[in-house]
Amino acid sequence: MRVMVIETQRMVPLGALASPLIEQGVELVYWRTTEEAPPAALKGIAGVIALGGAANPDQDAHYPWLDHERRLLREALERRLPTISLCLGGELSPRCSAANRVRSRDHESAGSPSSAISAPATTQSGGSCRRGSPGPSGTATR
């Protein structure tokens, strides 16, 4: 199984999540947004992991790869691929779909995308990693 990892900054890697996936036979295919051209599509990809970074989801003028990331996330959602979206990825995922969204009871944050969980059920978006934003427990990150 091949899983696309969208890495927006080297300082925000997949980290400890990589080893268990590799041990289970998952082939990690990286798109490093600041170093490589975006893939045209998710052909041959069985899942997506969208990592975080310093960009805000509406800063296309500063980060031209954001539109490509949204396109890939939209394709993943349309194909119902298992998708994990963390930090920036979690902020982009809800913008990619008109799918049903529900608020997590554990992550109340005044309508922030960080508390959204996007359908399909295999797709989860995680909280913001920006300084001072609500973390998983609702407390501000440092």
The pLDDT assigned to 105 comes to 53
Domains of the chain: 2-125 (3.40.50.880)
Report which residue type is found at 132: G
The pLDDT assigned to 103 comes to 47
Q: What is the pTM of this model?
A: 0.69
CB hemisphere CA count around 106 (13 angstroms):
6
CB distance 70 to 24 below 8 Å: no
Mean pLDDT of the chain: 76
Report the alpha-carbon distance of residue 69 to residue 1 in Å, rounded. Answer: 21
The pLDDT assigned to 116 comes to 34
In this structure, of 64-68, 77-81, 131-135, 138-142, the range with the lowest mean pLDDT score is 138-142
